Amino acid sequence: MVVSCDAVTVSRAGVTWLPPVSWQLQPGEHWVIRGDNGAGKTTLLRVIAGKLTPTHGHVAYAFVTEHDWEARYRQVRAHVVYLPAHAFAVGQSSLYYQQRYYATGNEDVPTVESFLGDLVEAVRRLGHDHFDLTPLLPLKVTYLSNGQLRKLILLRALAAQPHLLLLDYPYEGLDEPSRADLNRLLEGVVAASQTQLVLTDHHHHLPSFINRTLVLDKPSGTTPPQSNGVLPPVAVAGAPIVKLTDIRLQYGEKILLAGFHWTIRQGEKWVLMGPNGSGKSTILALLNADSPQGYHNQVELFGRPRGTGESIWDIKRRINFLAPELLTYGYANTPRNQPVAAFLQQRTLAVHTEPVAEARWQAMLAWFGLEALWRQTMASVSTGQFQVLLLIKAFAVPRDLYILDEPFQYLDPTHKQQAFRFVQHYLPAEAALILVSHYHHDVPDYVTLWKRIGYESENPPQPH
C-alpha cells in the first residue's frame, strides 16, 4: 500500500464536498478519477495531498513515519506533488488578465528562467523531445500561451521527481498535438522513475500506463441539470461589427501572425482554432481592446477604426468576454468565504457592469441544476462549477459580441451539453459569437463558421 483512504469524507457548513470514499493506491498503479462536476474529484486530490483535512475518516501513507502533525505534513509534501487545475497564476496573485499586453505591468513578473530556478536543466532534459524550452527562458511567464504555461508547470512538477504526482485536469487548454506530447512525456517519466500518477479527467485519451479508474458519485440531494425553454430563432448575418485587415502581431523580433484578415457580422457564430501559441489569445485581445497592438493595425470594431478617439470602455461595454485567464486569476483571488450570490452579483469590467435581477441569476443556475449554490460560499464550488459560474456571468447582460475562449473546460459531458444549449438560448439573435476551442467535440452544431490559424491551410473544410 502506498496511500490509503479509509471512509474519508469532507463537509463544511452542512455542505458535503466529498461523500465517503475508501480507496487504496498500490505500487505500480496509476489512476484516473472521473465523475460529474461537484462529485468531489478535486477535493479528494487535495485530501491526498494533505492540503485539506477530512471531516471523517483517515488517510495513511507508506512514506510517512512521523507522528507529529507538522512533521507528517512535511513528509507528505516531500513525496507528493499536487498540480491543481488553477495552478497557472504561478504564485503571482496580483496578476491581472490583461497584464501580458503591457510592458510596464510586467516588471515584477518572473521570467521563465527565474520561475524554474535550479530546475532549468532538469526541465530541459524532460522536455527535450516534447517542449522547446530555450526560446522561452527570457520571456515573462505572462507572455506564454495557456498551453505553454500549463506544460511548463507540469514539467517543473515532474522535475522534482515526486513519489506521487496528483494532476487535476491536466489536458484542459492543450491542443491535440500537445495532448499527445503530454502523454508521451508522462509515459517516458513513468517508465524511467518510480513516480505514480493520479489524475482527474472527463473524456480525454489517457496515457497507456493508466491502469485503474475511480468513479465518484455526486453527493445525494443535488439537482440534475434541466432542459429549458424554446431555443431562439437563427439570425441572419447583418452589418460587420469586427473587421481585421492585414493584421501583423509582433513581440520584439518574434512575428506571431502576419497578413491576417477576418470580418465578423451581426448574428454570425464563429469558432477560432489554432495550436497553442499561434496567436488566438492575442487576436481576442485586439477585439476586446486589451492589446496596444490594435493601434498600429487596421482594426475596426462596431463600425469605428481603433485609434480615432474611441474609449476602450465604450468598446468593452458592447462585449462579453470569458477566457482561461479569468478562470485562473479569478479563482486565485476569490475569497473562499464569499457567498456565491455575492460573486455573481459582483460587477467587474471583464464580464458585466449593470445590476442583474436575482430571478435571472436563479434561472441561469437552475439551467445547470445548481440553484442550491446561491446559498453557499465559494469554498464549496468545484472546478467545473466555477467554470459554469463564469459562463453564467458572461451571459448576465445582453451584448453585441460574445467572446468565449475555451468556455467548456472542466465540464462533465452532461453539463457540457447543457452549456451548449445555455449559450444558444441566452445568446441574443443579433449578437455575434466567437468560440475558441481545441476540440471539435466542444463546438456546438449551431456554430457554423470556422477560422483556423497556425496550420498549413488557414481555412480547411469544417470537421464533421
pLDDT in tens, 390-435: 999 999 999 999 999 999 999 999 999 999 999 999 999 999 999 9
Torsion over CA of 205, 208, 213 and 219, rounded to 10 degrees? -30
Q: What's the CA gap between 429 and 400, in Å, rounded? A: 10
All three cell numbers of 387: 467554470
Torsion over CA of 67, 73, 77 and 80, rounded to 10 degrees? 70
pLDDT in tens, 313-368: 889 889 999 988 777 777 777 888 899 999 998 876 455 567 889 999 999 999 99
Q: What is the mean pLDDT of the chain?
A: 84
Other residues' Cβ atoms within 10 Å of the Cβ of residue 415: 26
269, with CB counted inside 10 A (0-12, 13-18, 19+), is buried
Please state, for a pLDDT cut of 70, what percent of the chain lies above it.
Answer: 86
Does position 131 have pLDDT exceeding 50, yes or no?
yes
All three cell numbers of 277: 501559441
| Contact call for residues 447 and 254 (beta carbons, < 8 A) | no
Q: Which CATH number, 3.40.470.10, 3.30.43.10, 3.40.50.300, 3.90.550.10, labels domain 3-216?
A: 3.40.50.300
Distance from chain centroid for Cα 360? 25
The yes-or-no answer to whether 3-216 and 240-452 have a common fold is yes
Other residues' Cβ atoms within 10 Å of the Cβ of residue 134: 9
Distance from chain centroid for Cα 332? 12
DSSP 334: S
Does position 100 have pLDDT exceeding 70, yes or no?
no
As beta bridge partners, residue 242 has 264, 301
Q: What's the CA gap between 11 and 54, in Å, rounded? A: 8
**Burial annotation 275-291 (CB, 10 A radius, 16+ → b, else e):** bbbbbbbbbbbbbbbbb
The domain segmentation of the chain, as residue ranges, is 3-216, 240-452
Instruction: Give the DSSP H or E segment for 41.
Output: helix 41-48
pLDDT in tens, 200-252: 998 778 999 999 999 998 766 555 555 555 455 455 568 999 999 999 988 77
Q: What is the pTM of this model?
A: 0.82
Which pLDDT score, from 0 to 100, does residue 232 have? 52
What residues contact residue 233 under an 8 Å CB cut-off, 6+ apart? 429
**Lowest mean pLDDT: which of 2-16, 125-139, 142-156, 266-280?**
142-156
Give the CATH number of domain 240-452: 3.40.50.300
410-to-42, 84, 377, 398 alpha-carbon distances in Å: 11, 12, 20, 25
